[in-house]
Structures are given as structure tokens and as C-alpha cells.
Amino acid sequence: MPMYEYLCNECGAVFTEILTVAEMEKRKMPCPKCKSKDVKRIVSHIHTITTKKS
């Protein structure tokens, strides 16, 4: 499942959630620190593993 990173506009906390794409689109994630719903998704790094050598 994809991991999504969020930034809380209220307290500045950055947190990660593992959600399906459908879950991410349906609900707004509350901040685990202050419980605010004023959060935005931020761009995060990705990591992939391949079987072929580049």
C-alpha cells in the first residue's frame, strides 16, 4: 500500500500514513499530535527495488 506524508498547518507536525488510494481520496487525515484536520499532503521520496541491473 502507498505511504502518504502529511504536514499539519496548525502545529507543524509531519506524519506518515499507509493508506489505499481509495482511503486517501475519501477521508481527511487528522493530525495525530493536535487532532487538527487542517493538514495537507506533502511530496515525499519514493524507494523502489528492481530485479534488473541498470
Burial 25-53 (b: 16+ CB within 10 A, else e): eeeebebeeeeeeebeeeeeeeeeeeeee
Confidence of residue 52 (pLDDT cuts 50, 70, 90): confident
Predicted confidence at residue 21, as pLDDT, reads 86
Domains of the chain plus CATH, in order, are: 3-42 (2.20.28)
| CA distance linking residue 9 with residue 42, whole number of Å | 11
Is the pLDDT assigned to residue 18 strictly greater than 80? yes
Distance CA 8, CA 30 (A): 8
